[in-house]
Amino acid sequence: MSFEVVSQSRSFGGTQFVYRHASRETGTPMRLAAFVPPQANAGKVPVVWFLSGLTCTEENFTVKAGAQRVASELGLILIAPDTSPRGEGVPDDAQGAYDFGLGAGFYVDATQEPWTRHYRMRSYLERELPALVAENLPADMSCQGITGHSMGGHGALTIALRNPGRFKAVSAFAPIASPMNCPWGEKALSNYIGPDRAAWRDYDACALIESGARLPDLLVDQGTVDNFLESQLKPQLLEAACVKAGQPLTLRMQEGYDHSYFFIATFIEDHLRWHAQRLGAA
């Protein structure tokens, strides 16, 4: 299956694409953004995935993070998928809440009706989309990194922890560290997965680490004036889980930064250089 080009623009010697394709997993059209650096003209290059947070699409990171300049320098493909299925017939929260339903797929495979048919972002990102990227882009799939923001930070951590060896570099911006222990996560997991909290553990980075999953290394940046720091994100739970398990973690509390893309844009270069070093691109 090939990607349909929605748009393409030259950027720092490379090309910023937006693609659309029909997804087998979600049963909907899906969009993704892909920055392809100039080094790809000579052969396959490493890939860094960015998973976005609540309410976002593939556009937020692509337009606001300012990542293309550094990715062009380092020779990295950047892939930014949408956060959830969309389209006619895809269920949404009855009250239109921002933290559940459309724009809040939480990177899970739902097991509860009416979410089961379309809300399959775990399988989409772990199986379907990587195969399509390998087929359609000059991507070296043996050199992958993954990062994300907030809900997408949760997604990046849990996908990497569930797929040992796939990602040589993992980082996150203000991730939801333990969805089992915050209102956003409890709402999403109880509705998508059901009341059995044991089934939630596959979608909680702290629980996965506690159960023995490991990463080669981990970088997390968190703003100290983030409105969601204490109630939703709880990086101290991730730090405690990593210390107990001997999991390497660099947790940087960034003084004065909030939850916005100004925070991401400030530190995206650090993260991309972290990934490039571990992917052999720096």
- Which are the catalytic amino acids? 150, 226, 259
Does residue 37 have a cis peptide bond before it, meaning omega lies within 30 degrees of 0?
Answer: no
Q: Which residues contact 194 (CB under 8 A, 6 or more apart)?
A: 111, 112
CB of 51 closer than 8 Å to CB of 146: yes
